[in-house]
A and B are shown apart, each in its own frame.
Chain A
Amino acid sequence: MNISAVSLELASLSLGLLTIILGLIFPSFRSKNTGGYLAIMGLISMLIGSLYLPASNTQTFINTFYVQDSLALFFKQLFIVVAIFVNAMSLRYLKPYTKNRGDYFALTFFALTGMMIMASAAEFITLYIGLELMTFTFVLLTTYKKQDLKSGEAGLKYLLLSAISSGVLLYGLSLIYGLTGKLDFSAISTVFSIGSVSPLLVWAIIMVLSGLGFKIALVPFHMWTPDVYEGAPTPITAFLAVGSKAAGFVAFIRVFFHVFAPFTSIFMPLLITLTVLTLLIGNLIALAQTHLKRFLAYSSIAHVGYILLGVIAYSKLGLSAILFYLMLYLFANIGAFAGVTALVINTGHDRISDLAGLWKCSPFLSVIFLISLLSLAGIPPTAGFIGKFYLFTEAIHQGYLWLAALALGLSLVAVYYYLMVIRTLLSGTSEETQPFIIPFSLRLVMIVSAAMTIGIGIWPGPFTDLALNIAQSFY
């Protein structure tokens, strides 16, 4: 028992509960943004506190079921950062949709807790519980625009499809338990390293791959993404696109880099096929989108494809490239979604054509879109360029030249569709001539994320070092 290993989870849970209780005691707390400010403050202090947690040595909680290593800590900090951004984006955005905002902020804490549990889980049931906690909270958050039919539809789709994928995952887990009699990762991998390959085991791997693939929106388990992203409140879409996806990736990393390590020859061909599909589908369908949120949804699917190159490379540098990419992906996506939030607040729409003439209405917002989309497109001097560069070089280095070439070719297609959006907002004319009103908190989110996008792009050294250190200690 080591309480400091779960200190962040405890803090997150208690802040969530505190928000609810305060809402029960003071009715005004629920209808005003006070809960949001409290949440942001709490999250920032958690982030600062997390910097003082020992990152170098691995701590465990209850045997080896729950580990707090540098990988877990990195992801937890990532989640906290996303949560801060999401709450700051929500403050003004929520106003027209609900009278009851206090619970919303409480729910973000529970989603955060779920993600943190996923980051630290070293045992399948714990992993599953974290995953479900996160998923159910997200279902609630997705449906938060109660008057909006689309929001409800998105929530229902997410709930049902998640249930199916959870079923698949659980089935895979039960097979593994049946084969090995163990549930914790290190014990299973010990058994696996001496065991032989059976059809049942292959099946189990496929089930786990499908279940986790659903969370990271791997094609063909991606079908929910565009619909849910479109229907959910925009800050929650950002939370899903960055937070939930990163949580899926940390589980993916732990399971495939560690537990299934002896069976690379089985899952690698599958993973490569699915990655190729993901790259193709994500990039090609993004071309045909007319709504910004759906567009960003497909773009995020395409990015899963790029990140999976790091998994396929299956090396220390590949892992560090994944971690680095997740950081820049966070800031670029938050920038883009914050931009969409501002657009929705001001115009009520989120079509790409609504961006026309934005340069005249709000140069600030245009610059934010510009930086974020250029980073997603991977154009220097933004961070996206460095990230893609690391991923592709490592893939080539590990002998996947053709795959890297395909990814490169498709990122050219991506450059086209990102630039089409940028062209719309830079040229184009709009009837709207009123200057945009962008709330301070949202403005701050945009400035920070754009600054980080440029900062990481110009001086990637410290960030690559961080990613490399974590990858080294995980290996």
Chain B
Amino acid sequence: MDQFTWLIPTLPLIAFLIIVGITYRFKLLSAIVATSFSLGSLFLAISILIQKIQSPKTTETFINWLTLTANQQTVLTLQMGYLMDPLAAVMCLIVTLIATLVLLYSIGYMKGDDGFSRYFAYISLFTFSMLGLVISNNYFQTFVFWELVGLCSYLLIGFWFFKPAAADASKKAFITNRWADFGFLVGIIGLFTHFGTFNFAELSTVISLHQNTLVLLILGLLVFLGPMGKSAMFPFHVWLPDAMEGPTPISALIHAATMVAAGIYLVARGYILFASVDSVMIVIAYIGGFTALFAATIALVQRDIKRILAFSTLSQLGYMMMALGVGSMTSGMFHLTTHAFFKALLFLGAGSIIHAVHDQDIFNMGGLVKKMPITVWTFVIGSLALSGIFPLAGFWSKDEILTVTLQHHFMGLFILGTLVAFLTAFYMFRLIFIALFGDNRSGHHAHESSWTMTLPLLILAILSIIAGLVNTPWFYQWTGMSFSTFLFFKEPEVPVIHWSIAVLSSLAAMSGILFAWIIYSKQQISADKLAQRFKGAHTLLLKKYYIDEIYGWLFNKGLLGLGKVFNFIDHILIDGLFDGTATLIRSSGVQLRLFQTGRLQQYALVLFIAIAAMTIWGVR
């Protein structure tokens, strides 16, 4: 099956081309094309994953896309190819599965939108780019697709470009990512100049010979900037909440399940690089941990349903990064997988609610449980999974992360992780008790969505329940495999339930739910009074720690001020120089043109004079 790996990204690309070139006018046909090609990729991904589990070996195929030689030596080789190992196979499965479900869901969600075909074309392009990134065998190709997914994200955030907020958000996402990608690109080029290759496999052999060198420290940190931007780690997190201006299924696919996880995936893919320097790993762990806590606190007070989920995504991405940083790739990737399912579920559920209520403020919702039971109950399942309640998917992956944090003696991060688990449960059930249960506060006329929207919800709900079982002792006893089997070729790590940690984290989650229930359902403690009491903290959280304001000030005052100075120098000094040169060149063209009189005799004369001059010079 491996030899068909290239088809996985190619199918969505073909879909994109078909939609743009042929079916653009036929809306439903575009949707069918996109969905069916994505489904094709999904089947391929599944069969390749099955094959990988049966015979775990890496296959790498590539062509030399561009070879540059100087002095008979090859100075630069750019490859295009694929690296298919269990890690890539798992990621391919996640991407194709969620993409297919989101496409199916979007047929209902985007119904009647003017840009219907454009939407499906963009998603197909995104799926192509994301899969190209996943199967890439070298940093160069990764960067190409990295930028392509960034472009698609930009296009889809600004899908409703006539809304100023959406247009601003798309720009913000793009520009923030540019800052991070700059460091990433410098890091990649640095890797190439230092080690002479972009290839992951070759790099890992070379890097394993160096440990804890200064060069690796610098390069590791630079390359890590890329994942920080894409996965929206603090301080690059600002774009992700605003990205919610895009259509909700897009938030589910790109800004929750797949693209933002690309950063995590890249850290896992280039793990050797980061793991070779201890301090880089510590930086990764603490940035992850900090982002997890930071975002979770902001999520406590938000009113917009999608923003709550966005900050929750930030927080969970921080969790994954923390897991990678403390040294466990398995738990990080495992959480990525389970999170992809339940966060996509939550976003699609939120989309279904928004579709029905036409509002995003949770305080304008309420009383939905009777009107749209499938949406509500699947949403609750997703929330329970996210909160880490036994035996749902989130429980196993979150537990795994807390366990490894403790095992690698990061006591501070362990406490932080447990606190985040509590906060997560609290804000999710705040959302549920306010938005889904309780009274209908705005007099909306919600109704259940169509089957194309509820079917993906049901599938994702089932996955949110069972996906975690893959990394349990029982699954190991049954099949002899655990999640780590899917990532490495080594003997699987034997999953063990650490009862003390499990109990502790469950207690944290339960108490979070309990608090939410007391405050928002029973209303024994008034939320408003709490907000009054801790006014300073509440405003701080509501304003998202003023990070946007600080950036705004930095750019407006600092960068633009600097820009004005340069502008002055540029306009007065440099432009004068260049404009003068340009005028000179242009006028010389006009003057020279006068030689071309159109007179035949003169042409012949020039010819003979030239020969005469050459002769005099040559024979002299």
What is the interface of chain A, defined by CB distance below 8 A to chain B?
A: 156-157, 160-161, 164-165, 168, 199, 202-203, 205-207, 209-210, 214, 220-221, 223-224, 226-227, 266, 270, 281, 284-289, 393, 397, 413, 416, 459-461
Contact = CB atoms under 8 A, between A and B. Distances in A.
Interface in B344-383: none
B611 A206 contact: yes
Tell me whether chain A's interface is mostly helix, strand or loop, or mixed.
helix
A412 B540 CA distance: 53
B221 to A, nearest CB: 30
Contact of A168 (B582, B590, B600, B611): B611
Interface string B72-97: 00000000000000000000000000
A164 B617 contact: no
A284 B589 contact: yes
Nearest to B80: A459
B619 A165 contact: no
Given A164-B607, A223-B606, 7 more contacts: A202-B618, A203-B615, A223-B603, A266-B618, A270-B617, A285-B592, A286-B589
Contacts of A210: 607, 610-611, 614
A214 B608 CA distance: 12
A330 to B, nearest CB: 22
Contacts of A168: 607, 611
| Ranked 3 nearest A-B pairs via Cβ | A287-B589, A223-B603, A288-B589
B585 A413 contact: yes
A285 B600 contact: no
Contacts, number: 84
Nearest to A393: B70
A203 B588 contact: no
Given A168-B611, A223-B606, A270-B614, A284 B600 contact: no
A173 to B, nearest CB: 15
Given A220-B606, A270-B617, A207 B611 contact: yes
Contacts of A165: 607
B71 A397 contact: yes
Contacts of A160: 600, 604
B592 A459 contact: no
A224 B611 contact: no
B619 A199 contact: yes
Interface in B562-620: 582, 585-586, 588-590, 592-593, 596, 598, 600, 602-604, 606-607, 609-611, 614-615, 617-619
Contact of B596 (A164, A226, A287): A226
Contacts of A393: 70
19 contacts: A156-B600, A160-B604, A161-B603, A161-B607, A164-B604, A165-B607, A199-B619, A206-B611, A207-B611, A209-B614, A223-B607, A270-B617, A284-B592, A285-B589, A285-B596, A288-B590, A397-B71, A459-B65, A461-B63
B209 interface: no
B619 A203 contact: yes
B213 to A, nearest CB: 33
B66 A461 contact: yes
Nearest to B618: A202
B500 interface: no
Contacts of B596: 223, 226-227, 285
Contacts of A199: 619
Contacts of B600: 156-157, 160-161
A313 to B, nearest CB: 13
B67 interface: yes
B64 interface: yes
A161 to B, nearest CB: 6
A199 B618 CA distance: 8
Contacts of B64: 461
A446 to B, nearest CB: 16
Interface of B: 63-67, 70-71, 582, 585-586, 588-590, 592-593, 596, 598, 600, 602-604, 606-607, 609-611, 614-615, 617-619
Contacts of B607: 161, 164-165, 168, 210, 214, 220-221, 223
B618 A206 contact: yes
Contacts of A209: 614
Contacts of B617: 270
Nearest to A227: B598
Contacts of A285: 589, 592-593, 596
B614 A206 contact: yes
Contact of A288 (B65, B586, B610): B586
A47 to B, nearest CB: 27
B1 to A, nearest CB: 26
Contacts of A214: 607
A224 B603 contact: yes
Instruction: Specify which of A164, A223, A285, A416 lies most central, judged by the most chain B CB atoms within 10 Å of its CB.
Output: A223
Nearest to B608: A164
Counting chain B CB atoms within 10 Å of each CB, the highest count among A168, A203, A206, A459 belongs to A206
Contacts of B70: 393, 397
A160 B598 CA distance: 13
Contacts of A226: 596
Contacts of A161: 600, 603-604, 607
Output the residue of A214, A285, A459 with the most chain B CB within 10 A: A285
A237 to B, nearest CB: 17
A269 to B, nearest CB: 8
Contacts of B609: 220
A15 B240 CA distance: 67
Nearest to B590: A288
Residue of B588, B610, B619 with most chain A CB atoms under a 10 A cut-off: B610
Point out which of B67, B618, B619 has the most chain A C-beta atoms below 10 A from its C-beta.
B618
A53 B63 CA distance: 29
A284 B585 contact: yes
Contacts of A289: 593
Nearest to A163: B604
A191 B254 CA distance: 73
B144 to A, nearest CB: 11
Given A210-B611, A287-B586, A288-B593, A270 B66 contact: no
A157 B596 CA distance: 13
Contacts of A281: 592
A321 to B, nearest CB: 12
A202 B615 CA distance: 8
Given A223-B607, A226-B596, A461-B64, A284 B588 contact: yes
A461 B67 contact: yes
Contacts of A460: 66
Nearest to B614: A206
Contact of B618 (A203, A221, A397): A203
Given A157-B600, A223-B606, A461-B66, A206 B615 contact: yes
B39 to A, nearest CB: 29
Nearest to A168: B611
Nearest to A460: B66
A373 B571 CA distance: 30
Nearest to B588: A284
A43 B619 CA distance: 47
Contacts of B610: 210, 220-221
A104 B6 CA distance: 48
| Residue of B589, B590, B619 contacting most chain A CB atoms (<10 Å) | B589
A202 B616 CA distance: 10
A281 B619 CA distance: 26
A366 B565 CA distance: 39
A164 B606 CA distance: 12
Nearest to B64: A461
Contacts of A288: 586, 589-590, 592-593
A67 B618 CA distance: 32
A200 to B, nearest CB: 9
B577 to A, nearest CB: 15
Nearest to B605: A223
A206 B611 CA distance: 7
Contacts of B602: 223
A184 B64 CA distance: 42
A165 B606 CA distance: 12
Contacts of A156: 600
